[in-house]
Amino acid sequence: MILAADVGNTNITVGAYDGEKLCTTFRLTTKTPRTSDEYGILIREILSEHGIKKENIEGSIISSVVPDVMHALVSSLKKYFGAAPVIVGPGIKSGMKIITEEPKSIGADRIVDAVAGYEKYGGPVLIIDFGTATTYDLVNEKGEFAAGITAPGIRISAEALWKQTAKLPNIEIKLPKSILAQETVSSMQAGLMYGQVGATEYIIDRVKSESGIKKMKVVATGGLGRLIADATDSIDIYDANLTLEGLRIIYDKNKAVKNR
């Protein structure tokens, strides 16, 4: 079995794989400072709750956009699970060529999503990750990372709305019954969510128009992605575990190279 960990700005998402089977997933809060021992004990105990012993774990892989977390997390996996993790970054075999102007500036999480999107659904494919930021990544028919768009995430937009205005409350992020809101909370939800749906549809259409690729799969992932995917016909597939799948695929590619 292997552990796959995606370190995002809000959460660390961890999955345990037995071959290609995802056995369990869980999340840790990224912004909570933890030592390597705290990470190790916490991960070990959560796995134990799901019937997975630390002895079952033979390897691990991490993608991260939060450098400050890495020392403690990497040390915890070495100490408590006995092996240094594969870290997605320069020198790691992903099987994907990046043809943007600054390939090294593409975040590890985006490469992982792109690899999973192409491997699972073929190309061309547009992968949308509704995370702390909302990212749109285009992989062409050849399996090359061709372009990326970055927009404020839904939570960032929501927090800006209630933190920067004196009288607007903190609200639950969900689609209201109607865009024709009758009071403050639903009016905020309507603007936030339908605004996101509209932006998503426009960006998808613009990507298709400027790339000249009229037919492409559009795949969404990320914690709030299902809300948007359910509200538009522009998204073909919602895949909650796309990033973890990408980590597993990249781990297997690097294991195969190592074993040659």
Q: Where are the domains of the chain?
A: 2-87, 103-246
Residue 61 pLDDT greater than 60, yes or no: yes
**Burial of 134 per CB tally in 10 Å (0-12, 13-18, 19+):** buried
**Average of per-residue pLDDT across 50-67:** 95
CATH number of the domain located at residue range(s) 2-87 in this protein: 3.30.420.40
Question: Comparing 12-16, 157-161, 190-194, 227-231, which segment has the lowest mean pLDDT?
Answer: 157-161
* pLDDT computed for residue 228 by the predictor: 96
Which residues lie closer than 8 Å to 16 by C-beta, 6 or more apart? 1, 2, 3, 4, 22, 23, 24, 25, 47, 50, 52, 57
Q: What confidence tier does 260 reach under pLDDT thresholds 50, 70, 90?
A: low
Cα separation, 12 vs 160, in Å, equals: 23
Q: Report the predicted TM-score, pTM, of the whole model to 2 decimal places.
A: 0.92
Cα separation, 95 vs 185, in Å, equals: 46
Residue 149 pLDDT greater than 80, yes or no: yes
Q: How many residues in the chain? A: 260
Residue 246 pLDDT greater than 60, yes or no: yes
Cα separation, 248 vs 140, in Å, equals: 22
**Average of per-residue pLDDT across 176-204:** 95
Computed over every residue of the chain, the mean pLDDT equals 94
3-state SS track over 143-212: CCEEEEEEEECHHHHHHHHHHCCCCCCCCCCCCCCCCCCCCHHHHHHHHHHHHHHHHHHHHHHHHHHHHC
Q: Residue holding tokens 């021992």?
A: 37
**Average of per-residue pLDDT across 65-85:** 94
Q: Do 2-87 and 103-246 show the same overall fold?
A: yes
Which segments of the chain does DSSP mark as H helices, in order? 36-49, 67-81, 108-121, 154-163, 184-211, 225-229, 242-258
Catalytically active residues, by annotation: 109
CATH class of this structure's domain 103-246: alpha beta
Measuring CA to CA, how many Å separate 209 from each of 42, 202, 215?
47, 10, 10
* pLDDT computed for residue 257 by the predictor: 65
**Average of per-residue pLDDT across 211-220:** 96
Max Cα distance, the chain (Å):
65
